Amino acid sequence: MTRVLIVGGGFAGLNAAKVLGNASGVDVTIIDKRNHHLFQPLLYQVAMAGLSPADIAAPIRSMLAAYKNIRVLLGTVDGVDLQRNVARTDAGDLPFDYVILAAGSTHSYFGHDEWEEFAPGLKTLEQATEIRRRVLVAFEAAERIQDPEEQKRLLTFAVVGGGPTGVELAGAIAEMSRFTLARDFKAVSARSARVILLEAGPRILPMFSEGQAARAVRDLGSLGVTVRVRTAVTGIDSDGVQIGDERLRAGTVLWAAGVKASRLGAAAGLLVDAQGRVIVEPDLSVKDFPRVFVAGDEARFTHQTGAPLPGTAPVAMQAGRHAAHMILDDLAGKSRRPFHFVDKGQMATIGRSRAILEKGSLKLGGFIAWLLWLVIHIYYLTGFKNRLLVVVQWAWSYVTFGRGARLITGEDWRMRRAR
């Protein structure tokens, strides 16, 4: 039996496992430090109280329960020894013949890890509920006090980073304060909340065309979001954001700027780029290690367009499947093929009823793009039930402007940050 180890149950690892599932002659172990696969494209909706964690996550174990040759382990990989073909984990040593590294990425604060406390990123369910807690607590705290200066600070939300996640977060906060919360709060006007999107580069959404990005800026503006480009953040603390000499007082700061890959590749002695991504060969294997594959956010793949493929769900899904197929091809005596990413286009939502969508020369915006966004995301959401639940919640929210998951929970649900 050929032993395949998959590190990570995200889009890359899960799709690799499904290709290898019930393949003869292959024994698969998939290990993840979390028990669930997460549908990250909708994570911002958990942060914005539109969906519950369980709506966008499912146990890896049950997603792969149908495959007899797959073993699912909850555990942490401390390192991978590529000379001895063994992964060291807190569940013991795991020997392998092939390994697919798909451990993903986390936030990078560009050397300022001290900012994390004041500006959480959005990668895990815990971070999503923490962001939800902070945003809702800011409104509660503003409602309790009289000082108008402090109220203004509490109702100022700064989102750092003008990529799709930053745009979606900023749009959702603005929409939530204008429509949902405005009805609930009486002493403060939730409508007066200020949402500021800060981008260091010359424009937001650089992966989209200029016209589409400009459209997003207009859509954000109509929701009340101020977009500031060429605005590099130089400090973040409990009071707000520092931008060079300028002080932006903000009760809530969210981080949607940089990411860095899992340390697993670098720790294994593999060649990585500045963001920690492993440089991969055209077939997604690693130079000198043909039985080691890297897929998803952890890989730097430049053979198709010269530029690295982005860290998105479609790239990870296709790369995971390709790596798995290469293993099956090896076993069948076929030669390796280069990975070719089929770009199905990209999209971003801006609040309710608006989105931008781009695929080659096709460019859509407004309500039509939003409807397409809806259909595609519902289609890709895993599992029948989640899909139905999400549809029910979205339909309800759309009609009523309500958001069902406005809960302040967590160990530190008290108003810690409400000064």
Residue ranges that bind a copy of itself, judged by CB under 8 A: 33-36, 52-55, 57-59, 61-62, 65, 71, 73-76, 90-92, 125-126, 129, 136-137, 140, 143-144, 183-187, 384-386, 388-389, 392-393, 396, 400, 402, 404-411, 413-415
Instruction: Indicate if 168 belongs to the active site.
Output: yes
Query: What does the DSSP 8-state code read for residue 157?
Result: E
CB of 50 to a copy of itself, least distance (A): 10
The total number of residues shown for the chain amounts to 419
Q: Are 275 and 308 in contact (CB under 8 A)?
A: no
Which CB, 267 or 415, lies closer to a copy of itself? 415
Work out the angle between the directed axes of helices 366-380 and 384-400 (0-180°, nearest 10): 150
Which CB, 55 or 168, lies closer to a copy of itself? 55
Match 């060649």 to its residue by tokens: 271
CB of 129 to a copy of itself, least distance (A): 8
- As to burial, measured by CB atoms within 10 angstroms (0-12 exposed, 13-18 middle, 19+ buried), residue 137 is buried
CB of 61 to a copy of itself, least distance (A): 4
Q: Are 350 and 174 in contact (CB under 8 A)?
A: no
- Residue type at position 110: F
CB of 181 to a copy of itself, least distance (A): 9
SS3 310: coil
CB of 28 to a copy of itself, least distance (A): 12
Which CB, 308 or 404, lies closer to a copy of itself? 404
Q: How far apart are the first and last CA of the chain?
A: 61
CA distance 165 to 105: 15
Which CB, 54 or 232, lies closer to a copy of itself? 54
Which CB, 73 or 292, lies closer to a copy of itself? 73
Question: One of 114, 126, 143, 168 is an active-site residue; which one?
Answer: 168
Work out the angle between the directed axes of helices 164-175 and 210-223 (0-180°, nearest 10): 20
Active-site annotation, residues: 168
